[in-house]
């Protein structure tokens, strides 16, 4: 009987250690994220709007992520439009606190009067102020594939705050030029899992 107990203990111990190590690694590594956003858009032509957005992403390693993004915009004038896009986001850590990124995206815009495909590229930098606060800035260049459709340059800035290890909130500002001149004020909430 003692031999059976010793044998069972010897077999069970490595299995428990492997299971504990797997659980620990799973807890440490959060590869997926989902983000929710709300934005007020102040158009210089007087047609203000409100946008709600959702993004779902995966961080593949320390320097590369992909995401799917969609947003719905309702304008004061009563019209609405929707965007759906996919993006690849390589990044590079320059120091412990400073990193660069470039977001490459392709997408579709739908509204009652037009539908077109577009591409976008957004280089930017992110700087950690401390363990909880960070700032981020970038410039997005976006253009429709065909002759018709949107073409714009957007200057972005944001302030982020880490609520927990897995959740954060951000406050964002953007200024868009060319096709339309707008200012945007937004808030976002992101969860890692």
In order, the DSSP letters of 154-165 are EEEEEEEEESSS
**What is the full per-residue pLDDT of the chain (193 aa) written as tens digits?**
545 554 455 455 554 555 555 555 555 678 999 999 999 999 888 789 999 999 999 999 999 999 999 999 998 878 899 999 999 999 999 999 999 999 999 999 998 888 899 999 999 999 999 999 999 999 999 999 876 767 899 999 999 999 999 999 999 999 999 878 999 999 999 999 9
- Domain ranges across the chain: 1-30, 31-192
Name the pTM for this structure: 0.82
β-pairing verdict for 98-110 and 167-178 = unpaired
Pick the CATH number of 31-192 from 3.40.50.2000, 2.40.160.40, 3.30.465.10, 3.30.565.10: 2.40.160.40
């Amino acid at each position: 009987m003692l031999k059976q107990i010793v044998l069972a203990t010897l077999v069970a111990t490595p299995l428990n250690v492997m299971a504990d190590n797997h659980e620990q690694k799973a807890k440490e590594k959060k590869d997926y994220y989902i983000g929710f956003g709300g934005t007020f858009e102040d158009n210089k032509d007087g047609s203000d709007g409100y946008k709600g957005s959702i993004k779902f992403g995966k961080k593949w390693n320390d320097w590369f992520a992909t995401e799917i993004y969609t947003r719905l915009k309702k304008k004061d004038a009563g019209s609405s439009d929707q965007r759906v896009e996919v993006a690849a986001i390589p990044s590079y850590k320059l120091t412990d606190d400073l990193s660069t990124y470039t977001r490459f995206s392709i997408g579709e815009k739908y509204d009652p009067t037009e539908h077109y495909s577009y591409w976008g590229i957004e280089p930017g930098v992110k700087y950690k102020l401390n363990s909880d606060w960070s700032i981020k800035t970038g410039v997005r260049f976006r253009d429709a594939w065909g002759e018709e459709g949107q073409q714009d340059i957007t200057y972005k800035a944001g302030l982020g705050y880490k609520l927990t290890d897995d959740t954060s909130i951000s406050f964002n500002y953007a200024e868009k030029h060319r096709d339309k001149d707008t200012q945007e004020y937004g808030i976002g909430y992101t969860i890692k899992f």
